[in-house]
Structure 1
């Protein structure tokens, strides 16, 4: 899945910051290879930042763009699954 643009506002920037995730982390992760799964009206993304941090992101599609809803570090078991699927 190609993610061209993310829509940011104060609310979602503040929300991901509570999980110690930055806008740069999400932008990096979405611009590179990732695993995406659609669940209802949301996209669940498992990805790795350029710095090597593995994160989980929830996106909502808004037209041609996506709005980050939340993001967090992945668990060790999620990281193992991600690495296995990305081989």
Structure 2
């Protein structure tokens, strides 16, 4: 899946800031190795790393033509981090 456009607005920016994450870190995840899984609710789950090395878990909706709207983003929990590190070897 190619992702190169992001639909940011006050609502999703404020939501991720509650988890001490910013839009730059989220966008950086999609420049590197990331894992993406689709849910039954047409949402996507992503595990990846920002340039700083921070491990992030992201949920988004795909809007088409490489564009997404981030629903939430937070630091990975230990189990998420283990899953990510095993998967990207």
The two structures have a TM-score, normalised by structure 1, of 0.95
Count residues in correspondence: 87
Find the counterpart in structure 2 of residue 17 from structure 1. 17
Find the counterpart in structure 2 of residue 28 from structure 1. 28
Q: Following superposition of structure 1 onto structure 2, how do residues 2-81 of structure 1 map, counting pairs within 5 Å?
A: 2-40=2-40, 41-64=42-65, 65-81=67-83
Which ranges in structure 1 are unaligned for 5 or more consecutive residues?
Answer: none
RMSD: 0.9
Which ranges in structure 2 are unaligned for 5 or more consecutive residues?
Answer: none
Find the counterpart in structure 2 of residue 84 from structure 1. 86
The two structures have a TM-score, normalised by structure 2, of 0.93
| Distance of 1:20 and 1:36 partners within structure 2 | 22
Q: Deviations over 1:4-49 (max 9, x none)?
A: 1111001100000000000111010122210000002111000011
